[in-house]
């Protein structure tokens, strides 16, 4: 095939770097990779309306994964299935919703009552795109992520508007640092987020339960225990989230 590079994958690990020149691409063109190893994957650059976007697809692997997992955990009502994490450059109506409509029935075959979470566009921030175009599944919630140091009133108001419209929103990732997971803690913005969360009784998950040397980690880098952490083992972020437990 023309313009094709083959890289043989060596077990147990292999790495390759490819530089793509897409300066002469036209709208609708794709330039990228097709990875054929067990389940296939596709990574490419495409051009739409004069702008370039990164495209990554592995839908068949997703179908196989959620079929296997929903079968494995069909008797575990505490398992939550998040089918799409932080999509980018992926409009709800044309990309995310059609994908969800293929994945959700696969889970429902084995887990008819399980909670399913579906990410929204722009790192799971664009919940407003869903308001007038919801999924038919009655036990699917729509995901928003925030980092208090980066995301302020604009995103809080977007969440409030969605909740006022009775959109079921689940915050499956958040922290009180900036969006890199590092940087200074923004306590003022964090308190505003928590006030909104408590006002609407929104479920949330804090990023991240780790001892990584970054400010969003809930544990100090020196922490080695795997559970039952003392306050001395918690980072400043960890102490803040602990103080907010109901």
Active site residues: 86, 173
Per-residue tokens: 135 = 């999924």
Helices then strands, each counted (H, E), the chain: 6, 8
Residues sharing a CB contact under 8 Å with residue 193, sequence separation 6 or more, in sequence order: 146, 148, 156, 174, 176
Contact 96, 126 (CB under 8 A): no
The Cα 122–Cα 240 span in angstroms is 27
Check: CB of residue 129 under 8 Å from CB of residue 100. no
**What is the enclosing helix (H) or strand (E) of 243?**
helix 236-243
Cα–Cα distance, 183 to 230 (Å, whole number)? 24
Report which of 187, 199, 238 is spatially closest to residue 215, judged by C-alpha positions.
Answer: 238
């Amino acid at each position: 095939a023309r313009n094709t590079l083959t890289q043989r994958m060596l077990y147990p690990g292999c790495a390759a770097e490819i530089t793509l020149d897409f300066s002469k691409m036209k709208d609708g063109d794709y330039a990228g990779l097709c990875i054929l190893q067990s389940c296939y994957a596709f990574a490419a650059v495409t051009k739409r309306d004069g702008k370039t976007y990164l495209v990554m697809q592995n839908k068949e692997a997703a179908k196989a994964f959620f079929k296997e997992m929903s079968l494995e955990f069909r008797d575990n009502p505490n398992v939550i299935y998040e089918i799409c994490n932080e999509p980018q450059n992926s409009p709800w109506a044309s990309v995310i919703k059609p994908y969800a409509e293929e994945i959700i029935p696969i889970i429902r075959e084995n887990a008819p009552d399980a909670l399913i979470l579906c990410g929204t566009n722009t790192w799971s921030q664009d919940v407003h795109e869903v308001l007038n175009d919801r999924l038919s599944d009655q036990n699917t919630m729509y995901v928003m992520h925030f980092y208090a140091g980066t995301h302020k009133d604009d995103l809080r108001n977007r969440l409030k508007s969605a909740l006022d419209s009775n959109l079921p929103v689940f915050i499956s990732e958040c922290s009180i640092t900036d969006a890199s997971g590092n940087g200074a803690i923004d306590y003022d913005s964090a308190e505003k987020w928590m006030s909104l969360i408590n006002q609407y009784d929104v479920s949330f998950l804090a990023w991240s339960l780790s001892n990584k040397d970054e400010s969003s980690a809930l544990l100090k880098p020196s922490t080695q225990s795997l559970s039952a952490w003392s306050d001395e083992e918690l980072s400043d972020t960890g102490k803040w989230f602990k103080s907010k437990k109901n």
